[in-house]
Amino acid sequence: MNPPNNHNPVKFQNQLLPLFFLTSIFFLNFTIRIIISPLLPAISEDMHLSRDQAGSFFLISASGYFIVLLCSGFISSRLFHKKTIALSAIGSGMAIIGAGLAQNLIYMRTGLFIVGMASALYLPSGIAILTSSIDTRNWGKAIGIHELAPNLSFLLVPIICEGLLLWLSWRNVLFVVGAASILLGFSFYRFSKVKDFKGESPNLKSFLPLVATPSFWMMMALFTVGVTGTLGVYSMLPLYLVKEHGMLRAEANTLMTLSRMFTLPMSFAVGWLSDRFGLKPVLVFVLVITGISTLLIGVFTGSLIKVIIFIQPLSAVSFFPPAFAALSLIGSKETRNIMVSFTIPIAFLIGGGLIPNLIGIFGDNDYFPLGFMLAGGFILAGAFIPTFLKFREDHSTL
């Protein structure tokens, strides 16, 4: 079943309520997935975790995200998109509360695995509802507002956690965030008047032509290094600053927030640069700077580590606008959603799960800086990939 078309133009102001609901849910959805990072020093101390065990949280959560995102179409085809979004918000909220109740490592990992599974339901259905509820003339503005949610989450979560930790334990911080997500999920289902429709089940026949397309596999590798530079680094950085550089947790989280204050306008700036210089050169440049700055996190100490922490996220978040534009130019428009469905889960599994776990393993063996240096080298190794991408003929000049 296809979403209804918007034949009659509607004022953008009259479409703000569904946009507000979806952006708020996306913000909490992303917040629940990354909130363990700024809380990790407190969690590690309270639960007596090794750095390897702490890093495993992100791999466990990313594994749940990977599994469900691949098959989310089966769920939304039966529940419809509105119920799927509500289920994602309520389920991830309950799961993070469950993680906060956990008294041992096994239950904590189980809770975070379910967090990954529940949160994965949101994005495909969220984008589908967004584009069906907003007039096509306003898609650019609407998607731009919606995509602010992850960057705002990266920016605000460390300082929100630090503020709440003044009065609450880390467990109660998870309760507060989980309760907010549950409340928002129920409110969305009860009060939102979005246009609802069924999702499309994954079709293997649509995927098979992509297997023989080298650029598809290149984009999968590119998104993996891109997620490594953002979520992979972000996940372990607070623990690294506390354990390796002797910072107080509050100082580390404040630094994390301040370093991301200037990331919000970067998507607009890199969009202009992509139009001016082309997607491939911009992707190469962004990955080179991200790789070098990530590597230097493991090299610098003292005031220099603070400087590089300001530089690294600016380049890291600049990857995604040209990368998604490049992904849309691989193959046909009919296979675009299939490419996203396979590229993003694998990128998050490796870049946002396996890489933080490996950094934690290096930390456990007294090579914490080397973990970041190797992550930077991994990103640098991927910087040459954009030069080999093959776009559709009508965009061959990009």
Closest to 358 in 3D by CA, of 47, 12, 54: 54
Q: CA 223 from chain center: how many Å?
A: 11
CB 322, CB 274: distance < 8 Å? yes
* Amino acid (1-letter code) at residue 370: L
Closest to 339 in 3D by CA, of 252, 210, 248: 210
Q: What is the rounded CA–CA span in Å between residue 305 and residue 285?
A: 22
Q: What is the rounded CA–CA span in Å between residue 271 and residue 234?
A: 23
Closest to 128 in 3D by CA, of 82, 92, 185, 188: 82
Residues in the chain, overall count:
398
Q: Please state, as a whole number, how many other Cβ atoms lie within 10 Å of the Cβ of residue 242.
A: 21
- Check residue 7 and give its pLDDT: 45
CATH 1.20.1250.20 domain locations along the chain:
15-193, 202-392
Separation in Å, CA 16 to CA 24, 135, 376: 12, 11, 40
CB 35, CB 96: distance < 8 Å? yes
CB 325, CB 223: distance < 8 Å? no
Q: Which helix (H) or strand (E) holds 8?
A: none
Architecture in CATH for domain 202-392? Up-down Bundle (1.20)
Q: What is the rounded CA–CA span in Å between residue 377 and residue 11?
A: 48
Q: What is the rounded CA–CA span in Å between residue 159 and residue 177?
A: 14
- Check residue 398 and give its pLDDT: 44
DSSP per-residue string spanning 121-163: THHHHHHHHHHHHS-GGGHHHHHHHHTHHHHHHHHHHHHHHHH
Residues with Cβ within 8 Å of residue 183, at least 6 apart in sequence: none
Q: What is the rounded CA–CA span in Å between residue 352 and residue 11?
A: 39
DSSP per-residue string spanning 301-338: -THHHHHHHHHHHHHHGGGHHHHHHHHHTSS-GGGHHH
* Domain 15-193 -> CATH class: mainly alpha
Give, for all 398 residues of the chain, the pLDDT tens digit. 444 444 445 555 556 778 888 899 999 999 999 999 999 999 999 999 888 888 889 899 999 998 888 887 788 888 888 899 999 999 999 999 999 999 899 999 999 999 999 999 998 888 778 877 777 666 666 777 787 888 889 889 998 998 999 999 999 999 999 999 999 999 998 888 777 777 666 666 666 767 777 888 898 999 999 999 998 998 899 999 998 998 988 899 889 888 888 887 887 788 778 878 888 899 999 999 999 999 999 999 888 999 999 999 999 988 888 887 787 677 665 556 567 777 888 898 999 899 999 999 999 888 999 999 999 999 999 999 998 888 765 444 44
- Check residue 291 and give its pLDDT: 95
Q: What is the rounded CA–CA span in Å between residue 227 and residue 247?
A: 26
- Check residue 233 and give its pLDDT: 93
- Check residue 333 and give its pLDDT: 55
- Check residue 214 and give its pLDDT: 84
E strands, 189-237, where? Answer: none
